[in-house]
Structure 1
């Protein structure tokens, strides 16, 4: 079975690698109508065995592999390519820029949480073949409409040293128990446990969005609660009144249990829970859809929206990310929801009223969309300078 299954076939439950529920093929447009089911299918695809103790996503290209003068897709599993989590720090910078008071750093940062971003071969090839890994390529692509192929998948994994897990979980596990409960890998001689993962796929034009947390994460359902209409016996878990107290394990439904049992996947992944998924900016009542991971979006879960944030991934005519359209312009308390109706100035300048139709006179493009992929504007190497400036990638 090929390692890189077509996203469209996988979303329809047609992959031979994962046994879907009986109704998987009867659901029309499952990526939109059954997003939690599809989220689990992509999670299983990314985390299936890839030899030894490695999972498939660990055979994919990291930002370090992608954004370099000669990008190379890995030929074998590679250790985690770890960075400090960028979003909590950027959120603090946004508050500071707005004149707000800065709270103490969230405990996860001091506990050694790190992250990495990886993409499958389809996503890697699209970036490389379109020269989107370097500033000269971004300048050449300015003003063009870019769309990743439908079989593209990206993940962001958050890791914590195994030695820090007992304290992080309020001593619900010992160090010796961590390898039995978590996916574990090593980097730089240190063992790390995966505590969270974002998974996105291009199965729909604006990507599918899902975030997973380990069941023992103490703040897993804090603030927003946890929602899983497909895989959890309790589809909605409300937030505790007090933060960081932990939640019961997310008992799996028979449909998800069958899917996991039919996959070639390490049993430790039974301990991970879907926190929530997103396939649109707002629900059918016009309310913003909010999805935030207690680790990845630590400190601003209440205002997190995967689709809105990533929809602002852009660059300007000089091949540089523009702060006007970036996370810094609204910080952790800014607007979420559909992009255009909120602030067209994220992408356009205009001489009169905000444009309603694209052909309106006086409309000038100021930014080009990276098709929701922050790594492109933030990680591209600057090959317009001598010597070439290496990637300034911060894990986005």
Structure 2
């Protein structure tokens, strides 16, 4: 992480009942101490208890900490920002940078001149194609921790590499501190971007930022074979969305299951201590957080979390009208858990939209003329990493 300033005071001098959580103050102290300047690995290792707390307000605080860290400002090297500053993740490795036969990406503090879109909102996994109503304008980036594991340690950037790694007795286990992001963009229309939205002028045009998915690996499970089914958390998930997106408040209130907003004062204190206040980030906030399949790990109520643009395929009846949705079946943890491959058939598990707890009987049907593929029938987990299944071909 780039160090812009030194944080000497504890972040959470806030009027929140820390005593109401099951965690001791010392655990929080370890996380809070110099939280912004730590490496991603140390930050995750120190903050596992906070990230996986069942107190939703504590998790919301942690979400803002992660958001503040990924959005640390670096100098704009391509003139895309009016302020000459851009969030540091704009200089991270994209899927295109990662999933090459011979990746050569170098991490610097130079942002990209243009966005690098993922497959035009046609999600491909194996032989499955899922099309959404609008073009993607979505960009996946990852930090150096995740990039090095995928391209150097495990060599999972190609399908041959994935199969070789698994067939020699290894399991995909992303390092603690790995961060994966998916940003959502939309070209600025003739009438201008929504008030408050952050805008950037790339080579392909001017875009406004609709929000970002964040997943950060906090710890590995003792038994990696349990990744499909265990309610034990390993990744922390949150989705920040532009607060002015149409229908967003309706979706947050009616469908999202684990959201506990901070006050503006609490939010602003985190942004200020992180050195990114007055940039416009206050116009974005979490749709919620997720650490497992179901609420309180009881197996009954699925955790629902998503972005109204990036997961519009999970909304019904009309995916393009969140204000009128009768359902929103989006679950970050459950969806990503099905990222898997069968080393014997060399087949990736098809993309689907599951919610709640998985079982070995869960299946996704790739097409009408092919048999169902069951998760428990020889598939091995890719540690929640859909990018491997989508791009390691």
Q: Which structure 2 residue ranges, 5 or more long, are not aligned? A: 5-26, 39-45, 77-84, 221-233, 316-327, 364-372
| Equivalent residue, structure 2, for 1:73 | 106
**Contact 2:3 2:37 survives alignment (8 Å):** no
- CA–CA distance in 2 between the matches of 1:127 and 1:371? 12
**Contact 1:88 1:298 survives alignment (8 Å):** no
Alignment equivalent of 2:171, drawn from 141, 145, 148 = 145
How many pairs align?
Answer: 305
**Contact 1:18 1:41 survives alignment (8 Å):** no
Offset at 1:132? 0.1
Over residues 157-199 of structure 1, what are the superposed CA-to-partner deviations in whole Å (9 max), with x where a residue is unaligned? 00001226x5xxxxxxx45x76xx2332333330111102100
Q: 1:363-374 alignment to 2 at 5 Å?
A: 366-374=378-386
Secondary structure of the corresponding residue to residue 137 of structure 1: helix
| Equivalent residue, structure 2, for 1:17 | 36
| Equivalent residue, structure 1, for 2:118 | 83
| Equivalent residue, structure 1, for 2:197 | 182
Over residues 201-258 of structure 1, what are the superposed CA-to-partner deviations in whole Å (9 max), with x where a residue is unaligned? 001443111111101101213345257755434xxxxxxxxxxxxxxxxxx2x22211
Offset at 1:342? 5.2
- CA–CA distance in 1 between the matches of 2:347 and 2:144? 24
- CA–CA distance in 2 between the matches of 1:223 and 1:133? 36
- CA–CA distance in 2 between the matches of 1:60 and 1:10? 29
| Equivalent residue, structure 2, for 1:338 | 357
Q: As a proportion of its length, which structure holds more strand?
A: 2
- CA–CA distance in 2 between the matches of 1:77 and 1:319? 40
Over residues 253-305 of structure 1, what are the superposed CA-to-partner deviations in whole Å (9 max), with x where a residue is unaligned? x2221111112225211100111110110013421111121011013141111
Offset at 1:368? 2.1
- CA–CA distance in 1 between the matches of 2:184 and 2:172? 28
Distance 1:369 1:10, change over 3 A: farther
Secondary structure of the corresponding residue to residue 102 of structure 2: coil
114-123 vs 76-85, greater mean Cα deviation:
76-85
| Equivalent residue, structure 2, for 1:54 | 86
Alignment equivalent of 1:121, drawn from 124, 144, 148 = 144
| Equivalent residue, structure 1, for 2:338 | 312
Offset at 1:89? 9.2
Q: Which structure 1 residue ranges, 5 or more long, are not aligned? A: 20-25, 97-104, 167-173, 234-251, 350-365, 382-396
Q: 1:113-262 alignment to 2 at 5 Å?
A: 114-129=137-152, 130-142=154-166, 144-163=170-189, 166=191, 174-175=192-193, 181-205=196-220, 206-225=234-253, 231-233=261-263, 252=264, 254-262=265-273
Distance 1:28 1:113, change over 3 A: closer
Secondary structure of the corresponding residue to residue 232 of structure 1: coil
- CA–CA distance in 2 between the matches of 1:255 and 1:87? 39
TM-score by length of structure 1 reads 0.68
| Equivalent residue, structure 2, for 1:288 | 302
Distance 1:228 1:10, change over 3 A: farther
- CA–CA distance in 1 between the matches of 2:50 and 2:335? 24
| Equivalent residue, structure 2, for 1:31 | 51
Distance 1:378 1:369, change over 3 A: same
Offset at 1:131? 0.8
- CA–CA distance in 2 between the matches of 1:319 and 1:369? 15
Distance 1:66 1:141, change over 3 A: same
CA root-mean-square deviation: 3.4
Distance 1:292 1:369, change over 3 A: same
Offset at 1:38? 1.5
